[in-house]
Amino acid sequence: MDLYAQLMETKAYLQSKLALKPRVAAVLGSGLGFVAKRLTEVTEVPYEDIPHFKVSAVPGHAGKLVVGKLGEVPVMVFCGRVHLYEGYSAVGVSYPVRAAVALGAEVVILTNAAGTVWPHWSAGDIMIMKDHINFQGTNALIGLDDDRLGERFLDMTDIYDAALRGVLKSFAMARGIDLREGVYCAFLGSSYETKAEVRMARTLGGDALGMSTVQEAITARQGGARVLGLSIITNLGSGVSGTPLSHGEVKEAANKVGGKFIDLLTGVIPELLD
């Protein structure tokens, strides 16, 4: 079955389950799922029930879609994502975003946990993605030759919408929340970067280091949605601090930033729509 036909099945299934038509979609990375707790009029759909969704093989990490309202805005929140390093294709990892856009999402918010190339940045910093460098060696549009999915040779100027970044910056400034802004470098993983790779990323204009998000951003853009990307800085990259990285440290740092991040995200969402 081709991707478009799959997408139509996924859309029909979700429309049959959901009372709301979501206008904003958010993909929440590791440890950030708690944002969904702020929604009202909630419907939850486990990923394994949704036709053509990929489910993470890690026990307890299957993921779920939570749809509800933030203020008056209907929102869909993807709690958990699958990654290229789990063996899925770029088309596969970005499928939930494609489904969100097919359902009518106008704004797609992508979040992730990331390392940084800068010694003066700290775990707990929040970075607005102003651009990305895709070092993953693959692309979400590979193999897709179907006008119904959108443009094949997709323009990537302003992939992360300048107006949305502006709204977020004003919102944060008014509340005294410091934000950083920078370029997210996506690696394949699941090993962290070498010291030389971190140096390369810094030399080439990168600020943050991660293993997700860029394929979803490309897909959202292809569907015509506006994209906002946010990185939670969880650690200094390899060689930037003297200590080796661990997944435990990354998860712990993502959890710690919780309160600030949830206030920022849930507060700004109602202001993102035209």
Angle (nearest 5°) at CA 10 between 157 and 55: 85
By the rule CB under 6 A, 229 interacts with ligand HPA:
no
* Catalytic-residue membership of 212: yes
Amino acid (one-letter) located at 75: V
CB of 235 to ligand HPA, least distance (A): 5
By the rule CB under 6 A, 93 interacts with ligand HPA:
no
| Residue span 42-71 as binding mask against ligand HPA, x where in contact by CB under 6 A, dash where not | ------------------------------
- No. of H helices and E strands in the chain? 8, 9
Q: What sections of the chain are H helices per DSSP?
A: 3-17, 90-93, 95-102, 162-174, 195-203, 214-222, 247-256, 258-268
Residues 108-147 interacting with ligand HPA (rule: CB under 6 A): 113-115
Q: What sections of 114-246 are H helices per DSSP?
A: 162-174, 195-203, 214-222
* Catalytic-residue membership of 156: no
* Catalytic-residue membership of 247: yes
* Catalytic-residue membership of 112: no
* Catalytic-residue membership of 16: no
Do residues 127 and 231 touch, judged by C-beta distance below 8 A? yes
* Catalytic-residue membership of 61: yes
Compare residues 136 and 222 and give the one whose CB is closer to ligand HPA: 136
Binding footprint of ligand HPA on the chain (CB under 6 A): 113-115, 187, 192-193, 209-211, 234-235, 237, 245, 250
Positions annotated as catalytic residues are: 30, 61, 83, 85-86, 113, 211-212, 235, 247
